Amino acid sequence: MTSFVISALLLLILVLVLVLRPLFFPAKESATSRRQMNAAIYREELDKLEADRLAGAIDSYSYEQTHAEMRQRLFQDTDEADDLAVLGSPKKTIIGICLFVVILSAGFYFYLGDAAQIAKKGAEQPMTQESVEKMVEEFAAKMVKEPDNLKGWAMLARSYRILGRNTEAANAYARAGSFVDSDPQLLADYADVLAANANGSFAGKPQQLINQALAQDPNNLLALWLSGTAAFNAQNYKAAVRSWEKLAQLLPPESNEARAIAASIAEARGKGGLAPASAPVISNQGVSGQVEITPELKSKIKAGDVLMVIARKPGERMPVAVLKTPVTTFPINFVLNDALAMSPNALISQMSEVSVEVRISKTGMAMPEAGDLISSPQTIKVGTTNARLIIGQIRP
């Protein structure tokens, strides 16, 4: 709001300067007075009268009479106060123009509403279901005129799917044609819509679309979920467990989605008479060593800081093992093994090497934050017992 007022005032001052410039900076030539102008005009008329007399156009009596009348009028016109030929009083003109511009601007401002009121009105009109559906209908009308816009049809299909209008969504996906065929996520979305329209049945085209999506992206989350669901509905519980267990490996541990998948896997195992997943054998095989910190960063350590040693499979973001401990005196010894695994399906003992890094967090949050003290990632062979990690950077 303050920036708007400042900008408006600056703009108003600029307008006033441009309008009043001729008054502040008058022409350098002296202004011609009214007396001088009248004298010049009568002088010209007297010259013409003299020329007519010499040419014989008028006689001496008429000349003397006309000459006397002109002299009398000249005396009367030049006897007044010598007002300069300018736009009245510059001071009064400046004040008048300033008042007019300011009052006019203020009037428009308060009539049309200020910036804060406009923003408030915009905030008071949130996007409603009706407005969203209206936008989708307008987009659909546009797409009817652009039948070859495959990307547009795919966008329309997703919009219909979000609104729960699965019949229209299926038709739009069909119109998207080859654009859908090359996108595994769109293929999975299309399969989901068709299954919903078929009362949950994946037979036929939905299953074909799921297989096509997984062929292009074996880790597509929706395709894996639908594949397991299709197998579960077909009472192929072993295949359902296989798809869902792979999906579980791709989800963050302890997330709501991971817990829901775990419950579905347990139900599939129970209905299929499958043995429960055996607890993984904990192995001491891992990576161990010491964590050190550069002298210039020691002063940044505060009480309550948390040190985390994180191991990942090289090239992947999901950790396979994490050690979290309060910061004590450096150097700090660490051990990463299967007891610290993030998932029983991805154990550090089953890997040949891991990428290990250290982070000191002020909050202990899993997500890195600006100001965290960090080390450079190191690729270390599993089984190493003398790894040395040095904290020497501050996360920007």
Query: Which of 204, 205, 207 has its CA nearest to residue 223?
Result: 207
d(CA 265, CA 249): 12
d(CA 239, CA 202): 15
Two tokens at 155? 């966008």
Look at residue 225 in the predicted model and tell me its pLDDT: 92
CA 375 and chain centroid, separation: 32
Look at residue 21 in the predicted model and tell me its pLDDT: 61
Look at residue 296 in the predicted model and tell me its pLDDT: 92
Query: Which of 259, 358, 267 has its CA nearest to residue 305?
Result: 358
What does pLDDT average to in each consecutive run of 10 residues of the chain (396 residues)?
62 66 54 60 74 74 70 59 48 66 66 54 60 82 86 86 85 87 90 89 92 92 92 91 89 77 85 70 80 92 89 88 88 90 82 94 80 93 94 91
DSSP 358-381: EEEESS--SS--TT-EEE--EEEE
Give the C-alpha distances (Å, rounded to integers) separating 373 from 116, 303, 314, 330, 364: 42, 14, 21, 14, 12
Two tokens at 254? 């302890």
DSSP tag of 316: -
Two tokens at 368? 């890195």
Is residue 153 within 8 Å of residue 186, measured between CB atoms?
no
d(CA 394, CA 369): 10
Amino acid at 314: P
User: What are residue 334's phi and psi, to 5 degrees?
Assistant: -140, 155
Look at residue 84 in the predicted model and tell me its pLDDT: 45
Residues with Cβ within 8 Å of residue 321, at least 6 apart in sequence: 286, 310, 311, 336, 337, 338, 340, 341, 342, 348, 354
H or E element, residue 131? helix 129-144
Residues with Cβ within 8 Å of residue 358, at least 6 apart in sequence: 291, 307, 308, 309, 310, 374, 375, 389, 391
Look at residue 272 in the predicted model and tell me its pLDDT: 84
